[in-house]
Amino acid sequence: MHPIVLELPGGGLLRSYGVLVAVALLVGWILSLSNAKTKGLPVEKLGVAYVLAAVCGLLGARALWVVQHVDAYAGPLSLLRLQAGELALGGGLLAGGLATWGYCKEGIATAQWL
């Protein structure tokens, strides 16, 4: 697989890893919302939970990678360098899972899901 899909005008690069992550997130979004509709679950609430899990998962994956590679840390903004492609799966699963759990627990506690 080529690491770079194409060069964008202005010097930017479209990397294959980023394209695959975006496709995975889009397919997950479509499947989870269609599954929610067929099971009669609140689609709006689950859509918010999905976006929250995706954002927190990406940031958590980047944060764990930076913790594992301390020499790459160049301040708080280095955590947002997702285009570098360096992510750690464990951090993404943990952060995304915790964010979703907290969101769902709050929704159940306040009876917003009913």
DSSP tag of 8: P
**Run means of pLDDT, 10 residues per run, the chain, 114 residues:** 83 84 93 93 89 93 88 79 78 94 77 52
Distance CA 94, CA 92 (A): 5
Q: Residue 55 has what pLDDT? A: 93
Q: Residue 114 has what pLDDT? A: 47
Strand-pairing partners, residue 6, are 14
Q: Residue 101 has what pLDDT? A: 92
At residue 44's C-alpha, the angle toward residues 96 and 53, to 5°, is 5
Burial category of 96 from C-beta neighbours within 10 Å (exposed 0-12, middle 13-18, buried 19 and up) = buried
Tokens of 17: 């890893």
Tokens of 110: 């306040």
